[in-house]
Amino acid sequence: MAARIIQKNTTAFKTVDVDPISLDLIENALKNARDEMDATLFRTAMSPGIREQGDAFPLIADHSGLMLAGQFGSFIQGFLNNFDGEIEEGDIIWLSDPYACEGAVSHANDWLILMPVFVEERLVGWGAMFGHMTDVGGMVPGSLPTNATSIFQEGIRVPPVKLFKKGVKNDDLLKIVLHQCRMPDWAGADLNAIVAACRMAERRVIEMCERFGVDSYISATNLLLDRNKRAMGHLIETSIGEEPVSFEDFVCDDGRGFGPYKIKCTMWREGGKVILDWEGTDPQSESSINFLLNENMLKMFFGIYMIMVFDPQILFNDGFYDLVEVRIPDGSLLKPKFPAALSCRTHALGRIFDVLGALLGQRAPEFLSAAGFSSSPHLMYSGYDENDEWFQLFQIGFGGIPGRPFGDGTDGHSLWPGFTNVPNEFLEAYFPLRIEKYESIADSGGAGLFRGGNGISIHYHFLEKGTIAIHDDRWFIYPWGVNGGTPGQRSAKAIVRVDGSKEILPSKCDDIEVNKGDVLIYDTWGGGGWGNPLERDPELVALDVKRGLVSKKGAKRYGVVVSKKGKVDTEATSKLRGEMADSICTEVFNYGPDLETLRKNCKKETGLEAPIQPTWDKKSA
C-alpha cells in the first residue's frame, strides 16, 4: 500500500549544472520560506499553544518527501507509505492518527497538513506542517489523559483524508471533526492557519521554479541533500566508533503508580553507517506514556546533535538519512502495538534527547551535555467562567537546560529552541487566573564549571472553579550531571487551598478540582551541571548570587564563600575548596542517589510514594 502521485506531465527531471550563487540563493530562499511559514501561522492561529508558544513544526520537502528546510525532520515518507489513494494537483491531505503514518505525528493532538506542490503539472515538492491542538475530544479536557489505556480514549483520530480535493474544500469532513472538539473555534482557526502556512511554502517553491527553472531547482535541491550527506558521512566516520557504546535513562513513572521505565540505546558505526539500537528499552506501558517513534524523526534528532556539537554550519536537511539505521523493538515503549495509548508521549520524547546526548559524548566527554531536555511540562486548566462560558488552557512549561561544554545552561527554557513562553499578561487577560510568581528557582541547576539552568517556579492563582491536569517528569529520577557536575533539582507540584492547607500533587494527574482562591505551585526541574564546580570562577558565582540564580548557601556547592556584602571571601573560599577537593565525582556521569536509595527516601523527599517497578506479567494479571 502506497500513495499514487498523479502527474499529467511525466517528463523526467533533467540534471543540470547549478552555479554556486544560484545554489546559495535557493538554499537561503528555502530557509526564508520556512520562516515565512512560521510567521503566517503565528499571526493567524488562535490557541496560545500555537500562537504564543509556537507548538508547530514546518517543513519544505523535495518531490520525494525529503526535508529541505524545517525543524522536525521529514514526516512525509510515513504518510506516503501508508496512504492508499491518489494524490493530484490541488489536493491537501489532513491526518492526525499516529498509527496511520508510522508515527510521523505521535499523538492525536497533532494535526498534520501535507500539500503537494506542482509546477507545469509535475510534482516538484511538498509543503507540510503540524501543530498541537488544544483539544481533540476524548476522556479529559486537553485530550491528554494520563489514565488512558487505548488510543480510542484520547480523542478523534483523523486518518489520511483530503481536506481539499483538486482545490475543493471538504466542509462536511471539517464539521464532523470539529464537532468532537471542546474548542472547535480554536481548532478550526488553527487548522486554517496551518493550511495558510503550507500555501506560503507552495508559493515560494513555485516562485523559485519560475525564476531558476524547474530542472535547475530540482538539481539544486539534490545538491543540497548530497552536500549534507557527504558532510554527515565525514562526521560519522570521525566521531562515531565501531565499538558499541550504550546508555540508559528512565521515564520516572506512568501516572498509574508504575515506574521507572527504562529507555536504552546502543550506538556504533558499521560499514559507513551509524546504528542506533534501542534493544533493552522496557516494554510498552499500559498508560499513555508510550512514544511511537518514527525512524526518520529519530534520524533527525541524531543529526541535530551531530550538527550542533561538531559543525553547526552544516545545512539542516534529510540528505543523510540512509547513513543512519534505527532498530526499535516491537512492543517496546518506543514502538507500542496498536491500540496503545500515546497522548502523553512527551516524557519519552524528551528523554531521548538526554540519551542521544550521552551516547554522542561518551567517546569525547568534553563534548557531553548534562541532562535537562527531559520532558515538556504541560498544564491544562478548564471550566466555566462567571459568564457561564467555557474556557480551556493548554500551556507548556520549561525546565532548566543542561550545562554544556561551552557555557551555562539556560534558565527555564524549552527543549525546542523555537518555543517561547505564554506571556503572563496573555494568560491573565484570556483566562480566569492570576500569576502570583514567575521566577527562576535558585540552586535548582546542577553545580559545575558550567552550571545547569535553573527550573522555573510559577504560582497560578485560580479565579474560577475548574479542573486542572498536569503532565511532567523528572520528579523521581534526577537530571544527571557530567564531568564532575552535580545533578539538577527535581520537579515538584502542589496546591495551596484557599483554607491554607497544602496538597502534594503527582507529576502526572488529571481531573484535579480547583476552587476560586486555590494556588498551584508549579516547579520544574533544573538542568545537570557540567564540569568540576570548584573550577568555576568565584566572581561568576558571586554574580549568580547577586542575580538570585544561586543562594549564598548554594554558592558553597562551588566551594565559594560570599560575604554579606556580596563579595567573594577569598581566604574562606580557598580553604573551603581545599576541603571539598576529594568529594568531587570523578565519574563521567553523576546520577545522584541510586535507585534503591531513591525509593527508600522518596516519601520523605517528595511527599509522594515511590513508583512500583513495572512487572508486566503481574500488571496484566
Q: Is the dihedral of CA 247, 478, 521, 439 positive or negative?
A: negative
Residues 6+ apart with CB under 8 A from 187: 47, 111, 133, 134, 135, 136, 177, 178, 181
Residue 261's pLDDT is what? 97
Residue 235 CA to residue 308 CA, distance in Å, equals: 12
Instruction: Give me the residue spans of the domains in the chain.
Output: 4-229, 240-293+328-532+584-620
Q: What is the distance between the alpha carbons of residues 363 and 207, in angstroms, rounded to a whole number? A: 46
* Cα 195 from Cα 193, distance rounded (Å): 5
Greatest distance between any 2 Cα atoms in the chain: 82
Q: Position 313: which residue type? A: Q
Supply the pLDDT for residue 363: 80
CB 399 within 8 A of CB 377: yes
The predicted model gives 252-272 an average pLDDT of 95
Burial (0-12, 13-18, 19+ Cβ within 10 Å), 572: middle
The closest of 52, 135, 133 to 428, measured between CA atoms, is: 52
Q: If 0-12 CB within 10 Å is exposed, 13-18 middle and 19+ buried, where does residue 9 land?
A: exposed
Place 522 in a pLDDT band, splitting at 50, 70 and 90.
very high
pTM of the model: 0.93
Tell me what pLDDT residue 556 has.
97
**CA pair distance 576, 30, nearest whole angstrom:** 55
In the predicted structure, residue 621 carries a pLDDT above the cut 60: no
pLDDT, position 311:
67
- Choose among 258, 356, 317: nearest CA to 71: 317
Q: How many CA atoms lie within 13 A of 214 on its CB side?
A: 15
Average pLDDT of every residue of the chain: 93
pLDDT at 312: 66
Among 194-198, 414-418, 586-590, the least confident range: 414-418
Contacts of 106 (CB under 8 A, 6+ apart): 98, 291, 292, 293, 294, 297, 342, 345, 349
